[in-house]
Amino acid sequence: ETALDDRTFTKHESEVRSYCRGWPAIFDTAQGSWITDVDGKRYLDFFAGAGALNYGHNNPELKSALLDYISRDGITHGLDMSTVAKGEFLETFASKILEPRGLDYKVQFPGPTGTNAVEAALKLARKVTGREAIINFTNAFHGMTLGSLAVTGNSMKRAGAGIPLVHATPMPFDNYFDGVVEDFNWFERVLDDSGSGFNRPAAVIVETVQGEGGVNVARAEWLRGLADLCKRRDILLIVDDVQMGCGRTGDFFSFEEAGIVPDIVTLSKSIGGYGMPLALTLIRPELDVWEPGEHNGTFRGNNPAFVTATAAINEYWSDDQLSVQVKAKGIEIAQAFDEICARHEGLSHRGRGMVQGLVFEQAELADRTCEIAFGKGLLAETSGPNSEVVKLLPPLTMTSEELAQGLAILSESVDEAIK
Ligand code: PMP
C-alpha cells in the first residue's frame, strides 16, 4: 500500500479507505497518455483508469463531440426517455460493431458501471433458465455488489460481505493445472452424478483474460471447449468483457479470436470512450425475457457518455487500424518484457494485445517496482491474488515512442527494485 500524505487524505480522496490503491500526488489535468499533478510533474499513464481510458485522456475527437453536444444544450440526464444521443449510439453500435462481426445481440443499459452489467447478466441467466447456480473461475473478478462479488474468485475481497446471495461454484481457470488443457469431461461426469451434489448451473461467467486476477490468459482452445460444454448442456455462457473489451486484446470483443459467440456479454469501462460511466449487457435476442421494471436504475444510460461512445466507435472502429496497432504494440511490450526477464531470475510475463503482465515471484518486488516507477513519472498498477503482477494497461492510442519511453522507465525500475 502506497502511503498517502495528509493533504491527500484530508481533502483530495475519501477517508473511507475501501478502495484499492492511492498514489502520493494530487492530479489535476490529463491529455492523451499523460497526467499532470498540481506540482506540474507529468506521469505517463500505464494504468488508464484500469481500462476505462482506451482512447486516452481528453481525446480530441471525443472532446469536441462532447463540447458540441453540451453547447447545443443536448439533454444530459433523461431517465426513461428516447433521446437522439441514445438512438445514434444504438445505431452506430449495431452497424459498426455488431453487424460486421455477424453478431446479433439486444443491448440493455443495466446501470452506470461494470458491476451493474454483470448483475443484470446473472439475474437474466437465472430468470431464463429457472436455475440458480452460477459457475465462476478461480481468480475471477466481476465486481463488488453482492451478486457480482459472489462470482468473484477472491476470498479477501469477499471476506467482509458475509454469505453471498448467489450460489457460485468456482472452477479452475485455464492453466490452473500448468499448461494442461482440460477436456471438461470431469465436469459432465459430476453433472450427471446425482450423488455429487453438484447443481446444474444457470450460467458460466468468464473473462477471456483475467485482468484483476493477474493477467491470466485463457487459450482459445480452452474457451472453445468451455463454449461447447455450455452449448451441449444448455448452460448460458456469459463473457465479462468489462476490462478486456473495446479493443484491449486487439479485437473489439476479446472473444473474437476464439471464434465463440457468448449468450450474454458485459461491457463497460472504455465503452463510454471518455472515461464516463456507461455499461451494456448484450443479450442474444431469444433470451430477452425481461419484463418492464425488472431491472432499472436512475443512471441507466448517460447521454453525454452515449455521445462520446458514438464518437469513439466512429473514430476508431470504422476500420481495423486500431486492432492492427494494438497487436503490434502488444508485441513491443512482450519484447521489452523478454529483455527484463532475461536479466532477472524468477520473472516471467504473459498477456494479449495491450494487456501485459510482468510476474514476480515476490510480490514486494512488484510493489516496489511500481513505487520506483511512480517516482520516475510512470503510473502502473499491480494485480493478481497477491499483487505479484505488474499489469500494463496503457491507452490503446499511446504512441510507440511513449510506449518505448514508459517501458524504459519500467525496465530501470525493475533493476533498481531487485538490486
Ligand atoms: N468485470 C471485470 C472483468 C472488471 O475488470 C471490473 C472492474 N475492474 C468489473 C467487472 C466491475 O466494473 P466496475 O468497477 O465498473 O463496477
List of domains in the chain: 6-59+320-418 (3.90.1150.10), 74-316 (3.40.640.10)
Full-model pTM: 0.96
CA-to-CA separations, 362 to 118, 351, 357, 366, 380, in angstroms, rounded: 32, 19, 14, 7, 17
Q: How far is the CA of 185 from the centre of ligand 1 (A)?
A: 31
Ligand 1 atom index nearest CA of 148 = 10
Q: How confident is the model over 302-325, as a mean pLDDT? A: 98
Instruction: With cut-offs at 50, 70 and 90, classify the pLDDT of residue 79.
Output: very high
Which of 266, 268, 271 to probe ligand 1 with, by most ligand atoms within 8 A of CB? 268
Instruction: With cut-offs at 50, 70 and 90, classify the pLDDT of residue 6.
Output: low
Q: How confident is the model over 156-171, as a mean pLDDT? A: 82
How confident is the model at residue 1, as a pLDDT? 39
Say yes or no to pLDDT of 15 above 90: no
Share of the chain above pLDDT 90, in %: 84
How confident is the model at residue 8, as a pLDDT? 56
Instruction: With cut-offs at 50, 70 and 90, classify the pLDDT of residue 16.
Output: confident
Question: What mean pLDDT, rounded, does the chain reach?
Answer: 94
Q: How confident is the model over 206-213, as a mean pLDDT? A: 98
How confident is the model at residue 329, as a pLDDT? 98
How confident is the model at residue 332, as a pLDDT? 98
CA-to-CA separations, 351 to 211, 370, 397, in angstroms, rounded: 10, 18, 18
Q: How far is the CA of 130 from the centre of ligand 1 (A)?
A: 26
Say yes or no to pLDDT of 171 above 50: yes
Q: How confident is the model over 369-381, as a mean pLDDT? A: 97
Q: pLDDT: is 186 or 152 the higher one? A: 152
Say yes or no to pLDDT of 162 above 90: no
Within 8 A by CB and 6+ apart from 275, the residues are 49, 52, 53, 57
How confident is the model at residue 2, as a pLDDT? 46
How confident is the model at residue 47, as a pLDDT? 97
Q: How far is the CA of 148 from the centre of ligand 1 (A)?
A: 9
Q: How far is the CA of 418 from the centre of ligand 1 (A)?
A: 32
In this structure, the residue with its CA closest to atom 10 of ligand 1 is 142
Ligand 1 contact, 268 CB (< 6 A): yes
Q: How far is the CA of 22 from the centre of ligand 1 (A)?
A: 18
